[in-house]
Amino acid sequence: MNRWLLVGPVEHWRTALTNRLWGFRDAVTLRTLVSKIADGDWVFFYAKAPVSGVVGLGRVQGGVFTADKPLWPDEVASSGVIYLHRFHVLTTSVLPENSWNDRAIRLPDLHLSLKIYSAVNPIPESAAAALQKESEKWEKPTSPPTADHDLIKEMIYEIGLLQGWIAEKEYHLEAFRLDVVWKRVKQGNPTVAFEVQIGGNLIEALTKLKHAFDMWNSSPILVTNEYQIEKAGGLVEGSFHEIKDALSIMDWRKVYDLVESKKKVNALELELGIPLRTVFTRPKPKSSVDTESQLSTQVTRIEDLVANGESETVEFKSSLSWDYHQNRPNKDLELSVAKEVCGFMNGKGGVLVIGIDDAGQALGLDGDFSLLTKKRQQPRDGFGLKLMGVLSTLVGPENASNAALSWREYDGKLIALVKVQKSKHPVHVQIQGKKEFCIRLGNLTKTLDTEEALIYIRDHWPSNS
């Protein structure tokens, strides 16, 4: 792990701290830094004269990337990129700007003689330790600030970054905006959704959180004050009972306590040389038993299903009725969907993902939506009715009720997720007056002949033999 002194004028630090970025020129002497600056490296913020001292510290997030838009004041003035190489910075401690002149750490005071020749300068471990120890003298607030919506959002955002999540503010959710979300991967859906409501409209906040839960199965968290916690609890018992078990309601002061604790932990990590932790690691392939266990939980994440691929309990279908190869509707696809559902019911249950092809590419549901006959009908409602109609016709209405439809968003596309429960009795597909018995074998669905079906039924449902 490397340690760096970042050097720039005060106006550059205003921009850097607001955008959580630092950058340097594409000079020949600096190009080697592109490969040396790494995720988790510690950085110290040095403001040039009139401050001439260290005003904060943090850690590098990710690696160096190439900029394509002007950001700093001199770049904006010239309408061009000057600091081509940039990297994200996670701030762990910084002085208020109005105290920089008086409280910045001056290098001579610590008997440090460091070479400052550019915007990014390597420094030895001993110097970094001395700067970190001196920064611990900066006064910490002894009591929480006054409740402020934007401040609380910023604290939740900062906690997410400190934990290694990809945190975003004002996240688009159809016609809404969520205050803060945490994601595992940049292109993925929010894993956690936050709404901050201090003396405002709780119903609006809960509506957004419920929508995020319905759309992505995000874990919903409402942050409010002590006076509204009881009221929020009453709403969850009533109008919003669907998210009762998933929702967390938090006093905003706990957010403050948490962010202060996280900063202290990160300061200790600097002293011990512990690298920045990250949340996401690519899941290892799971067995069908693992997936079956996953089905029994409340949340099934589309990212995990795609990463693990098809299995005995997971199947991907490009569509319900729309044939992407022939660019027209195809009834045979509906029969294929029914057979997959039948196979799940005769096995361990499973998840049918509609809108993603076998390779894990998101296709969405626009093709199926285009086939809906009632144009004034909401596409999701129409698709749900169409799916239940197909299943009722082909596997029977009493069995179709074992399939539950929900919605996810993946790679910018709307996806249908059909959770299928294991049946308590044999299920057949009705095809032109004939019955077919289907089961799952690995990641395939097989139609058994009469003798094979009788043996399978005898083994799995002894009371039906």
48, 123 in Cβ contact below 8 A? Answer: no
Do 448 and 315 share a structural domain? yes
Specify the CATH number for the domain of residue 317. 3.30.950.30
Q: Are strands 413-420 and 403-410 parallel, antiparallel or unpaired?
A: antiparallel
Write out the two tokens for 341.
């559902």
Provide the domain count of the chain: 3
DSSP string, 14-81: HHHHHHTEEEE---GGGTTHHHH--TT-EEEEEETTTT-EEEEEEEEEEEEEE--S--SHHHHHHTS-
**Beta-carbon contacts of residue 422 (< 8 Å; ≥ 6 apart):** 344, 345, 347, 348, 349
Specify the CATH number for the domain of residue 238. 3.40.1350.60
pLDDT one-digit tens code per residue, 48-105: 999 999 999 999 888 899 988 888 888 888 989 999 999 998 888 889 888 899 899 9
Q: Give the Cα separation of 261 and 92 in Å (integer).
A: 11
Do 179 and 324 share a structural domain? no
pLDDT one-digit tens code per residue, 439-465: 998 888 999 998 889 988 988 887 765
Q: Are strands 219-224 and 248-251 parallel, antiparallel or unpaired?
A: parallel
Cβ count near 24 (within 10 Å): 23
Which domain range does residue 445 map to? 288-464
Does 13 score more than 70 pLDDT? yes
Does 309 score more than 60 pLDDT? yes
Helix or strand or coil: residue 346?
A: coil
Rounded (5°) CA angle 252-254-257: 120
Percentage, residues of the chain above pLDDT 70: 89
- Using only the alpha carbons of the chain, give its radius of gyration: 28
Do 120 and 15 share a structural domain? yes
Cis peptide before 220 (omega within 30 of 0): no
Rounded mean pLDDT, 195-221: 88
Percentage, residues of the chain above pLDDT 90: 38
Write out the two tokens for 51.
């401050």
Q: What is the pTM (predicted TM-score) of this model?
A: 0.41
